[in-house]
Structure 1
Amino acid sequence: MQIAFTYVVPPTAGAFTPNLKALAKASVIDNRILADSETFAEEFVLETADADAFRAEVAQDFEGAPVDWCVQPAEGRRKRLLVADMDSTIINVECLDELADYAGLKAEIAEITERAMRGELEFEGALRERVGKLKGLATTALQQAYDERVRLNPGARTLVRTMAANGARCVLVSGGFTFFTSRVAEAAGFHANRANTLNEADGRLSGTVGEPILGREAKLAALREEAAGLGVDLAATLAIGDGANDLAMIKASGLGVAYRAKPVVAAEAHCKVDHADLTAVLYFQGYAADALVTD
């Protein structure tokens, strides 16, 4: 079978030179340098009888190295649908934790968030508990948190705009809140966004969230619904996230990417981005640096 092997060396890796022993046992059909500036990215298309064995050998070659890599079927690498988590994936923070800071509860709520993202707590119950602790917080804290704390992660806008410019549909799907997803989606260039709703009254949070809660299964359903709407198979989709509530959509997608992810997610995703920025996901799809949409 033909597979594609891509690796991305970020600027922080310094003068890293890979020792790719895995390639010695495979028949290389094509080889391209995708980026050779601050970030270096290289792609190989090769023939191998055992993709899993090749992947294991690549993992050994890169063990402990500050490099991100991906092994996948060569055909269909460029995806038609992107479904992305928001908090700690497209943006730099967990919005609920930052809101909690304005109520003096960040440490307490962040601990619950961390446990939920690691898969130690059921997401829906953990969300209700955290939102309940914010009852009475002025709704002005929402805009304040967005203005003061929320930033797009490096490469996020380039990832979304490049895929969109090449005909892909891009959807932000979050277990967070529509107040933030609507703004982040516009800033990054997503076509649509789905999230939960914070209930409020008289200028203050009510301490409840709209039902049904968008969690792990709802994210998976969103991936399937968006793919069906485009008339494409799940093999043509890409899902990216960092927490346990992202795992179902990551595993079901054609290319599931764990971004700076919790161990339970990193262990089961198709590939990981732990070192480079989000443009690595474009290189995994075969985009070259000169094809990236930047502004």
Structure 2
Amino acid sequence: MTNMNDLVIQGFTPPLLLTDFRLAAFDMDSTLINIECIDEIAAAAGKKAEVAAITEAAMRGEIADFKDSLRRRLALLKGVPVSALEQVLATKLQFNPGARELCAALKAAGLKLVLVSGGFTFFTRYVAAELGMDFVRSNELEIVDGALSGGLVMQAWGEICDGEEKRRMLLQCAEQIGARPAQCIAVGDGANDLLMMGAAGLSVAYHAKPKVREQAMVAINQGGLDRLLTLFG
């Protein structure tokens, strides 16, 4: 393991060739953006502490069943008005440092970009449009009479985008463009990203939970996402 100014590398020696990769898949909350959207929605309902505690435990890997943890959190948000989501998007959501630069550089090099999130389409639509994502998968909040029902909408692929679904999405998108898993990059911060990261040729932990940092090939512990570009010759 090598430590270069809080950029930890294990399992390979830089530089890599960007031309060896064809696809990059990203988690959204706390990876591409600065917040956990569900926690900020909960703040509007006065339940942030309760929801954030479950989120933190799930991201650390202390709650093994992500689907169960998400359902528990959503149940606490029943009745929250859609205006609370609009407020989070307008006032809380910001891109993490280097997110725009990294995505632009990868796209310029010909890579396809995938946004795969255990978060919500209300936010992934905006993030995907801003960063030029080619593929997106996330959860659809059920809204009844202008408020959250506490549930999700069933989509063609399923109801909840958990760790296994993230892995499936990465492999499905790779197959669609004729790429091998070894030609994929996966970037995340939480335990529900580990399956996706394990399937990719290059796994990157960004300001991640300890369990994720330990298992990733690259851990960016300080600085922006664009630090990843320093690994490529």
Bin for the TM-score computed over the shorter chain: over 0.9
1:12-51 deviations in whole A, cap 9, x for unaligned? xxxxxxxxxxxxxxxxxxxxxxxxxxxxxxxxxxxxxxxx
- Aligned residue in 2 for 1:112: 54
CA distance in 2, matches of 1:172, 1:86: 7
- In the alignment, the residues of structure 2 paired with residue 231 and residue 88 of structure 1 have an alpha-carbon distance, to the nearest angstrom, of 30
**Cα gap change, 1:73/1:233 in structure 2, threshold over 3 Å: closer, same or farther?**
farther
User: 1:95 is matched with which residue: 37, 60, 63?
Assistant: 37
Instruction: Determine the structure 1 residue equivalent to 2:162.
Output: 215
Q: Distance in 1 between matches of 2:153 and 2:106?
A: 31
Q: Distance in 2 between matches of 1:135 and 1:115?
A: 21
Is the CA contact 2:189–2:207 (under 8 Å) kept in the aligned structure 1?
A: yes
How far off its partner does 1:278 sit? Answer: 0.6
1:285, distance to aligned residue in structure 2 (A): 2.7
Shift of 1:164: 0.7
| Alpha-carbon distance in 1 for matches of 2:88, 2:15 | 43
Q: Show structure 1 runs of 4+ deviating over 2 A.
A: 69-77
| Cα separation, 1, equivalents of 2:177 and 2:193 | 21
1:238 aligns with 2:185: yes
What one-letter code is carried by the residue in structure 2 that aligns with 1:263? P
Question: Is the alpha carbon distance of 1:80 and 1:120 closer, same or farther for their aligned partners in structure 2, counting shifts above 3 Å?
Answer: same
Highest Rg: 1 or 2? 1
**Are the counterparts in 1 of residues 14 and 232 from structure 2 also a CA contact under 8 Å?**
no
Q: Report the alpha carbon displacement of residue 237 of structure 1 after superposing the two structures with TM.
A: 0.5
Q: Please provide the CA RMSD for this pair.
A: 1.5
Corresponding residue for residue 72 of structure 2: 129
Which of 160, 177, 180 aligns to 2:103? It is 160
3-state SS, counterpart of residue 206 of structure 1: strand
Corresponding residue for residue 9 of structure 2: 70
Q: Contact 2:142 / 2:152 at 8 angstroms: preserved in 1? A: yes
| CA shift for structure 1 position 189 | 2.3
For 2:210, the equivalent position in structure 1 comes to 263
Q: 1:170 aligns with which of 113, 118, 129?
A: 113
Q: Distance in 1 between matches of 2:5 and 2:76?
A: 39
What TM-score, normalized to structure 1?
0.73
Q: Which position in structure 2 is the counterpart of 1:186?
A: 129
Partners of 1:76 and 1:236 within 8 A in 2? no
Would you say the 8 A contact 1:237–1:253 is kept in 2? yes
**C-alpha distance in structure 2 between counterparts of 1:113 and 1:128, whole Å:** 11
Name the CA shift for 1:182/1:195 in 2 (closer, same or farther; >3 Å): same
| 1:85 maps onto 2:32 in alignment | no
Alpha-carbon shift at residue 192 of structure 1 (Å):
2.5
Q: CA deviation at 1:276?
A: 2.0
Mark the CA change 1:94 to 1:158 in structure 2 (over 3 Å): closer, same or farther: same
Structure with the bigger RCO (C-alpha within 8 Å, sep 6+) is 2
Instruction: Please list every run of 5 or more consecutive structure 1 residues that lacks an aligned counterpart in the other structure.
Output: 1-54, 287-295
Aligned residue-pair number? 225
Match of 2:229?
282
Shift of 1:282: 1.6
Instruction: State the identity as a percent.
Output: 44
Partner of 2:194: 247
Which amino acid letter does the alignment assign opposite residue 214 of structure 1? Answer: C
Q: Bigger shift: 206-215 or 141-150?
A: 206-215
Is the contact between residue 152 and residue 188 of structure 1 (CA under 8 Å) also seen in structure 2? no
- In 2, the alpha carbon distance for the partners of 1:144 and 1:101 equals 11
What CA deviation, in whole Å up to 9, does each residue of 1:59-83 have, x standing for no partner? xxx3xx7431435266963121010
Give me the whole-angstrom Cα distance separating, in 2, the residues matched to 1:265 and 1:170: 21
Corresponding residue for 2:173?
226
Q: Is the 8 A contact 1:137 1:205 kept in 2?
A: yes
